[in-house]
Amino acid sequence: MSDALTKSVHALMREAVERAILPRFQTLAAHEINAKAADDVVTVADHEAEAILATGLAKLLPEAAIVGEEAAHADPAVMDRLGDALCWIIDPLDGTNNFAAGKPPFGVLVALAEKGETIAGWIYDALTGRFCHATRGGGAFVDGTRIHARSSGAEPPIAAISLVFADPAKREALKTKIAPHYTCVDIPRCAAEQWPRLALGQNDVSIFERTLAWDHAAGVLLLNEAGGKAARPDGSAYRVDEHLRPGLIGAASPALWDELAARMADI
């Protein structure tokens, strides 16, 4: 993946943040926030940011399909494009619940997939400007510096376990069978923050139940290219065209991943 493409994507993400997102941070009117599902909201900033990104990305690679979170919510058939020869995947405002509540973290996620496999990913922190990117076989970078995943060094390891979308039985099993082996911390409810935490040594492991492409494509690639491990609980690779398949584990090292996966297999 060329440096020129990464620079162009970075510029588009920054434009979306500066034009559509930051001007509305802590200034949203009630009518600019709408419920999308239980415990999930969408704002005018989501829609405007997605329009900016979709328009710009289409110019960069006209041959690529585009799957944006809000477009897919309006028309689920959009998801059928995830397995196309080339496909842009857009989360225009990740962490919308945080944003709508006037608090961090929140960011923008963009990925490029080829026949269902992520080949490039970009993560932009809207408030700090931190820019993470990765390309398949090309490494992982934060603000232009190559990174190598590392654990926190804590004992027991630090875990961020998402219970939001787990069914009641699995939620209870995660609490009683998995959590006691770790120091559990609150999840940020923002994949644009959670994946960098794993790659940068703030968290050691994470468990996700819902695995939508716009939430995870870029972060999975970032962590794997940094030398950590992100995969399905059975060890199979994460594919963007299997977005309805539940379960995803991320870890700062393959050893930490193996340990957690073994515990997950027992439940």
pTM for the model: 0.96
3-146 is a CATH 3.30.540.10 domain: yes
- pLDDT, tens digit, for every residue of 198-232? 999 999 999 999 999 999 999 999 999 999 999 99
For the record, the structure tokens of 96 come out as 């919308």
**DSSP string across 144-196:** TEE--------SSPEEEE--TTS-HHHHHHIIIIIGGGSEE----S-HHHHHH
* Residue whose token pair is 């190598």: 148
Please state the domain extents for the chain. Answer: 3-146, 158-266
- pLDDT, tens digit, for every residue of 108-118? 999 999 999 99
Q: Indicate the fold that domain 158-266 takes in CATH.
A: D-Maltodextrin-Binding Protein; domain 2 (3.40.190)
Per DSSP, 81 falls in state: G
Say if CB 123 and CB 222 are below 8 A apart.
yes
Strand partners, 159: 184, 205
pLDDT on residue 87 = 98
Say if CB 81 and CB 67 are below 8 A apart.
yes
pLDDT on residue 127 = 98
Contacts of residue 158, Cβ cutoff 8 Å, sequence gap at least 6: 152, 182, 183, 184, 185, 202, 203, 204, 205
